[in-house]
Structure 1
Amino acid sequence: MLKLPLTFYDESGRILPPRWLYSVFILLCIDWLAFVFSLASRTQTSELLTFFYPQKETLGLGLAASLPVLIALSLVSQRDRLWKKGFLAWRRWVIPLAQLGVLALLSVQLYYAMHHHWGFETITGVKIVFYSIALYAISKSRHLKWMVEDWETPNP
């Protein structure tokens, strides 16, 4: 008996990542996206970075905090290549890396709120709520747990 509907399996019978996972990972890595897009515009790199990150340490902390999420995203998206090379242990690190990254991002936002004497800022509030929901979804998702269990052996 299948744990999930057939649409959640690939051609070889493996459980696919939940549809929401990539969206959440991309939103958690928004600092990396802003950084890459600002580098793509060679003439206005510093202006774009200054616009999005008025305080220089903000970018560095955001990049460092979201690095575990970026690694988890890379592992999930490159699973076929990793299986073909015989690597299997990486699957156990997907959920903990995502949780660690979300906790780090949440800590950074709480640090900024504390640094600004707990004054309300809309973007900080939205990020704290989003990070909390993302942490809960990643931690409690049965789909993710079943996916990691299913990925125990490489594709045939």
Structure 2
Amino acid sequence: MLKLPLSCYDESGRILPPRWLYAVFILLCIDWLAFIFSLASRTQTSELLAFFYPQKESLGIGLVASLPVLLALVLVSQRDRLWKKGYTRWRRLVIPLAQFGVLLLLNTQLYYAMHHHWGFEAITGVKIVFYGVALYAISKSRHLRWMIEDWEAPNP
């Protein structure tokens, strides 16, 4: 009996990552996206970065804090290549890396809220709620746990 619907499996019978996981990872790495898009516009890089990150240190802190999530995203997206090369232990790092990254991002938002004397800012509030929901979803997802267990078996 299958644990998940048939659409959650790939052609070789392995459990695919949940559909929401990539969207959550991308949203958690929004600092990296803003950084890359600002670099793509060579003539206005500094203006774009100043618009999105008025405090210069906030970009660096956001990039460092979301690095574990970015690494988890790369591991999940490159799973076939890693399996073909015989690497399998990385799969156990996906959930802890994602959790650690979300905790770092949550701590940075709490730091900014504290730095602004706990004054309400809508974007900070939205980010704190989103990071809390993402941490809960990553921590409690049976689909993710089953996926990691399924990925333990040798690739057929």
Which range, TM-score by smaller chain? over 0.9
Within 5 Å, give how 1:121-132 maps onto structure 2. 121-132=121-132
- Asked if the contact 1:8–1:16 (Cα under 8 Å) also holds between the matched residues in 2, the reply is yes
- Asked if the contact 1:106–1:128 (Cα under 8 Å) also holds between the matched residues in 2, the reply is yes
What does residue 6 of structure 1 align with?
6
C-alpha spacing 1:154/1:42, structure 2 compared with 1 (3 Å): farther
Within 5 Å, give how 1:102-117 maps onto structure 2. 102-117=102-117
Q: Does 1:142 align with 2:142?
A: yes
What does residue 89 of structure 1 align with?
89
Aligned Cα root-mean-square deviation (Å) = 0.5
CA distance in 2, matches of 1:9, 1:76: 15
Residue by residue, what CA displacement relative to the aligned partner does 1:54-88 show, whole Å, maximum 9, x if unpaired?
00100000000000000000000000000000000
Question: 4+ runs of 1 displaced by more than 2 Å?
Answer: none
CA distance in 2, matches of 1:153, 1:76: 16
In structure 2, the residue corresponding to 1:112 is in which secondary structure? helix
Shift of 1:155: 1.9
Q: What letter is aligned with 1:21?
A: L
CA distance in 2, matches of 1:20, 1:92: 19
Q: What letter is aligned with 1:124?
A: T
Residue by residue, what CA displacement relative to the aligned partner does 1:15-63 show, whole Å, maximum 9, x if unpaired?
0000000000000000000000000000000000000000010000000
CA distance in 2, matches of 1:57, 1:101: 18
* TM-score, scaled relative to structure 2: 0.99
Unaligned runs of 5+ in 2: none
CA distance in 2, matches of 1:64, 1:103: 12
Within 5 Å, give how 1:51-70 maps onto structure 2. 51-70=51-70
What does residue 30 of structure 2 align with?
30
Q: What letter is aligned with 2:68?
A: P
Residue by residue, what CA displacement relative to the aligned partner does 1:84-110 show, whole Å, maximum 9, x if unpaired?
000000000000000000000000000
Shift of 1:113: 0.1
Unaligned runs of 5+ in 1: none
